[in-house]
């Protein structure tokens, strides 16, 4: 069961404030030596995010207060280590959140981060029927850029989802986004401290319990892109088993080769001697444990961030290919100029344009046709045409 997933957001502001009050962290108190707490922004699995005024620099910052729970100490140290590593990247051109400072408040480690505007989940929630291609294109381009640079320094984010993508400033820099929350991130050649990825965004090799690497971030990017296009989570569910049943319903069952490699395949599939496939998805009555989703896709065939950036889908965005060596020079106070995001013109018939563009995201080897039901047919056909841009998603 993934209800205990440390990456899951805690939605109750009341619970967050109650916790902070019990630990004498209230509005108006001074965190460290110079951060005046103004407001609470929310709670994550590993800490609380607050809005603070830095009285020394005279500016607002987001301060993440890492929980002092001994069980989460490994994750807290890990996030701090990863954020320090990210300092070698230009936060503006590499589309990652900037760490300004690290300090202690009583027994808490506090991370002072740049204050951003709104996460993609809330942004999409304010719209009707998903985002237009003119907005999806620059957003996915920037996220692929971020993943490209993370890969260049050997870091896996491991929790890509709309909640962890922030708009920088909707009024001054429309559609400029940055990747945040590195609580589950880990070195690609190391081992994660916790269960990686959130239910519904989790990659196949993670679910099947086979070795995984930075390719898991590309799977989550695909799910996020589809969610932006459709306006709803394509595989919403409280349990992995429910999500997997939706995957199988709309995409078909994972291929036997991938299921054969999974240490946990037997939890959700039964072997069979007759039939076209060796594995059969268990019915709810057949489950002998609380399920986890094992969706599919060969991680070896998964598209790389640079391939995404070079795809014709982004031909409207006139930018030079990213450079691996993006080590910052000068002081932290220097802010590199951010290139404006170019956007394609709006369409008078967004649905037809979306369908036409998304169909171009065909699988490298074949076009997958989906038989869907009733009113969802058009939405899901567009959705999965978009998914097929990521060849791993449609590999059985």
| Residues with active-site annotation | 159
Q: What is the DSSP letter of 283?
A: P
Q: Report the candidate in 81, 49, 85 with the shortest Cα–Cα distance to residue 67.
A: 49
391 φ, ψ to 5°? Answer: -55, -30
CA distance 348 to 170: 24
The residues near 338 (Cβ < 8 Å, ≥ 6 apart) are: 92, 93, 173, 176
* Burial readout 224-245 (b: 16 or more C-beta within 10 A, e: otherwise): bbbbbbbeebbbebebbbbbbb
CA distance 4 to 45: 9
Pairing of strands 47-54, 186-187: unpaired
CA distance 305 to 215: 9
What residues are paired with 279 via a beta bridge? 271
CA distance 40 to 275: 56
Q: What is the DSSP letter of 29?
A: P
Q: What size, in residues, is the chain?
A: 396
The residues near 117 (Cβ < 8 Å, ≥ 6 apart) are: 166, 167, 168, 169, 170
Could you tell me how far CA 169 lies from the centroid of its own chain?
19
Q: Report the candidate in 86, 370, 346, 139 with the shortest Cα–Cα distance to residue 251.
A: 370
- DSSP of 305-370, one letter per residue? HHHHHTSGGGTTS--PPPPS-----S-TT--PPPPPPP-PPP-SSHHHHHHHHHHTS--SS-PPP-
């Amino acid at each position: 069961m993934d209800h205990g997933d440390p990456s899951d957001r805690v939605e109750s502001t009341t619970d967050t404030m109650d916790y902070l009050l019990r630990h004498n962290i209230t509005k108006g108190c001074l965190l460290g030596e110079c951060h005046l707490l103004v407001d609470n922004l929310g709670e994550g699995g590993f800490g609380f995010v607050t809005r603070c005024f830095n009285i020394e620099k005279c500016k607002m910052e987001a301060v993440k207060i890492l929980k002092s729970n001994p069980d989460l100490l490994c994750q807290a140290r890990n996030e701090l280590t990863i954020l320090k590593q990210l300092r070698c990247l230009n936060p503006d051109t590499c589309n990652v959140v900037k760490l300004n400072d690290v300090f202690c408040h009583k027994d808490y480690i506090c991370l002072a981060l740049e204050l951003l505007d709104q996460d993609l989940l809330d942004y999409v929630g304010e719209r009707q029927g998903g985002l237009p291609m003119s907005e999806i294109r620059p957003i996915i381009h920037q996220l692929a850029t971020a993943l490209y640079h993370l890969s260049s320094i050997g870091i896996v984010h491991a929790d890509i989802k709309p909640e962890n993508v922030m708009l920088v400033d909707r009024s001054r820099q429309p559609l400029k986004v940055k990747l945040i929350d590195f609580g589950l991130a880990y070195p690609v050649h190391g081992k994660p401290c916790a269960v990686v990825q959130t239910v519904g965004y989790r990659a196949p090799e993670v679910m099947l319990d086979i070795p995984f690497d930075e390719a898991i971030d590309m799977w989550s990017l695909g799910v996020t892109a589809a969610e932006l296009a459709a306006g709803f989570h394509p595989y919403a569910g409280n349990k992995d088993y429910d999500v997997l049943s939706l995957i199988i319903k709309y995409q078909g069952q994972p291929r036997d080769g991938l299921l054969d490699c999974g240490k946990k395949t037997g939890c959700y599939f039964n072997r069979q001697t007759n039939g076209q496939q060796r594995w059969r998805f268990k019915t709810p009555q057949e489950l002998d444990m609380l399920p986890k989703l094992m969706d599919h896709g060969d991680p070896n065939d998964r598209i790389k961030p640079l391939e995404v950036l070079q795809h014709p889908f982004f031909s409207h965005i006139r930018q030079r290919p990213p450079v691996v060596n993006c080590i910052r020079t000068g002081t932290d106070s220097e802010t590199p100029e951010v290139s404006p995001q170019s956007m394609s013109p709006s369409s008078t018939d967004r649905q037809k344009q979306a369908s036409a563009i998304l169909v171009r995201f065909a699988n490298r080897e074949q076009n997958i046709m989906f038989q869907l039901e009733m009113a969802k047919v058009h939405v899901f056909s567009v959705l999965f045409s978009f998914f097929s841009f990521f060849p791993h998603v449609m590999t059985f």
